[in-house]
Structure 1
Amino acid sequence: MDKRTEFFGWFKQQGLDNIELWLEEFELAEKGMEKAMINVALLYKQYGFFEEMYNLLTTVSEHKNSEAMYELANCYIEGLGGKGSEQQAFSLYKDAANLGHRDAMNNLADMYFNGEATEVDEKKAFLWFEKAAKHGVPEAMYTLGIMYEQGLGTQCNASLALEYYKRSADLQYAEAKYRLGMIFYSGELGQQQNDKEAIEWFRKASEHYHVDAIYNLGYCYEHGHGVIQDVDRAMTYYKQASMLGDREATKRIVIYYEQINLKEAAKWREKLESLESFKGFDEN
């Protein structure tokens, strides 16, 4: 059986669509087209065929293809198929970053920042986050905001911290939107405390299903911070947060219904108990 026929049979077994397009991609991969090889490798990854994935990504990585290096490093970090290590991932991220791969720059910076497969080195982390940010990586911009805010790897600079948070938020990074909400809610980084501005940022973060932002919207509506007090709307936000696993939001719902509807309170108390049980299991 030739490789094309073998791939066709495998593809049919998975019940996938667009078989003609993928057969063309497979044929290009067989001819050594690196982009096609990476695409087929990622298809194998999606369906758990890790040996085939590793073979393709390793081959392309040996050609100094930064995308293949980055994807192979990700697979090592995830420990797929029991292969690889953090040290191998670190080396691949570093090689890909030096070849200009922006996400590899960010991941390499993370490893320096957290001391993964290397010593903690905040200055090197800062430099690589800066490079990634210059290439438009919103996560890197957000982390630079943290580093400038806390003086990690650089001097504290409130205005630059705020600038990087805003740049990251402009690129739709949810954590940056939430952080800006907290900055205006608490009056941090030299900003005037401003509930209305905070709520706008919490709203923007909530569009990404950011659970803490959703909870905070509930809290603001419950207590009338920056908005007209509206307990019904507060409960709507608390219920959204609860559905995302937030225990504090669930507690607020239980407290509310204990005053007006004991049957409904019992239902939400059961939900709270399940969340608490899950928390205990998670910690073990």
Structure 2
Amino acid sequence: MKKIIVGVLLSAALFSITALHAATPEEAAMIANAAERGSTSSQVLLAVLYANGDGGKEKNDKLAAYWFERAAEGGNPYAQQKLGDLYEAGRGVPLNLKVAADWREKAARRGNVDAQAKLGKMYLEGRGVDKDYRQAESWLNRAAVEGSGEAQFLLGKMYHLGIGVERNREIAGNWLAKAAAHSYDDAAKLLHLLESFGLHVEEGFYQRLPDLHKLAADGDAEAQYQLAVRYESGAYGIDKEPNQALYWFRRAADSGHVMAMKSLAHIYRDGLDGVQPDREIAAAWADKARSAAK
């Protein structure tokens, strides 16, 4: 039975990292054995156990870094991104921003959204890499399209201030509105400033709640998604209502909205909006999102 449990964990590694906080010492030992045999998924899970001090393991940043590096060298993008984080913070490895950027670029090129956003920020600030606004805009845009609130905020700020791009308050407002809808407070503050100038941004973000409800009820997937993010984040002055958020995310996902599918995968992976964590449902929605995006 234990082998079956661990097998499920390993096959869903990217969607079950947080679930391993309850790993037993016996399960951790099985993961360690698989990691020693070269399983990159197992190496990632073992690294997480050492990073968090779970599964009977004492918290050990050096061993976490060691196993993340083993998995990263095997091509695992999650491990590559986490290794970048460790080198940026100097946890378990010497602080080295250049090495952090190198690992993040590997992960970013493999589609890791977190790495794309962080790499874009490094190019924007010239940390670990030469300052390069073109590269910054490119990586931030890729992450922003996939729903990264930080990337959306930084892109909005670039267009608002004209940093490396032609100043465009309408584009700035659209990205800031998306970031604000994800509860990115700095974006909401800057968006409020733009509003004070009478800026008109993407219509969907400023439609009144009753209008959005009507469109959503009529089957408009984007309106359904916008309702969901408003109810989830409390954006635009409405009360947070997790049940309503979950309902409209499902409606939008069933209507084919890719970001809604990704949101559901995230919700079920981490147990948000009042649902119990469920790796199988999370993985199913993530698979649907990948298929729909092709």
Query: TM-score surpassing 0.5?
Result: yes
1:166-202: per-residue Cα shift (whole Å, max 9, x none)?
111111111111111111111112x332323211111
Contact 2:65 2:86 in 1 (8 A): yes
Taking a change above 3 Å as real, the CA distance of residues 78 and 236 of structure 1, as seen in their structure-2 partners, is same
Contact 2:46 2:67 in 1 (8 A): yes
Taking a change above 3 Å as real, the CA distance of residues 71 and 266 of structure 1, as seen in their structure-2 partners, is closer
CA distance in 2: counterparts of 1:251 and 1:178, whole angstroms:
21
Equivalent in the alignment of 1:182: 121
Taking a change above 3 Å as real, the CA distance of residues 196 and 120 of structure 1, as seen in their structure-2 partners, is same
CA distance in 2: counterparts of 1:122 and 1:233, whole angstroms:
41
Shift of 1:130: 1.6
CA distance in 2: counterparts of 1:104 and 1:240, whole angstroms:
36
Give the AA of the match of 1:271: A
Equivalent in the alignment of 1:223: 161
Percent identity of paired positions between Structure 1 and Structure 2: 23
Considering only CA atoms, is the larger Rg found in Structure 1 or Structure 2?
1
Equivalent in the alignment of 2:110: 171
CA distance in 1: counterparts of 2:16 and 2:93, whole angstroms:
32
Taking a change above 3 Å as real, the CA distance of residues 249 and 165 of structure 1, as seen in their structure-2 partners, is same
Superposed, 1:117-136 pairs within 5 Å as 117=55, 118-136=57-75
Give the AA of the match of 2:43: M
CA distance in 2: counterparts of 1:245 and 1:206, whole angstroms:
14
Contact 1:254 1:265 in 2 (8 A): no
Contact 1:147 1:153 in 2 (8 A): yes
CA distance in 1: counterparts of 2:130 and 2:51, whole angstroms:
31
Give the AA of the match of 2:106: R
Equivalent in the alignment of 1:44: none
Equivalent in the alignment of 1:208: 146
CA distance in 1: counterparts of 2:131 and 2:188, whole angstroms:
28
CA distance in 2: counterparts of 1:104 and 1:59, whole angstroms:
13
Contact 1:77 1:86 in 2 (8 A): no
Equivalent in the alignment of 2:136: 198
Q: Unaligned 5+ residue runs, structure 1?
A: 1-54
> Aligned to 1:252, which of 163, 172, 190?
190
Equivalent in the alignment of 1:19: none
Q: Which moved more, 1:249-258 or 1:216-225?
A: 249-258
Shift of 1:275: 7.2
Give the AA of the match of 2:10: Y
Shift of 1:59: 6.0
Equivalent in the alignment of 2:19: 78
CA distance in 2: counterparts of 1:112 and 1:242, whole angstroms:
35
Contact 1:177 1:205 in 2 (8 A): yes
Contact 1:184 1:198 in 2 (8 A): yes
Contact 2:48 2:64 in 1 (8 A): yes
Partner of 2:64, secondary structure, is helix
1:149-176: per-residue Cα shift (whole Å, max 9, x none)?
3332223334322221111111111111
Q: Which moved more, 1:248-257 or 1:121-130?
A: 248-257
Taking a change above 3 Å as real, the CA distance of residues 75 and 207 of structure 1, as seen in their structure-2 partners, is closer
Equivalent in the alignment of 1:145: 84
Give the AA of the match of 2:235: K
Contact 2:181 2:235 in 1 (8 A): no
Superposed, 1:26-45 pairs within 5 Å as none
Partner of 1:120, secondary structure, is coil
Partner of 2:105, secondary structure, is helix
Shift of 1:225: 0.7
TM-score (norm 2): 0.61
Shift of 1:89: 4.4
CA distance in 1: counterparts of 2:174 and 2:196, whole angstroms:
16
Tell me the C-alpha RMSD between the 2 structures: 3.5
Shift of 1:96: 2.9
CA distance in 2: counterparts of 1:220 and 1:87, whole angstroms:
48
Equivalent in the alignment of 1:102: 40
Q: Unaligned 5+ residue runs, structure 2?
A: 200-205, 210-229, 243-272, 274-294
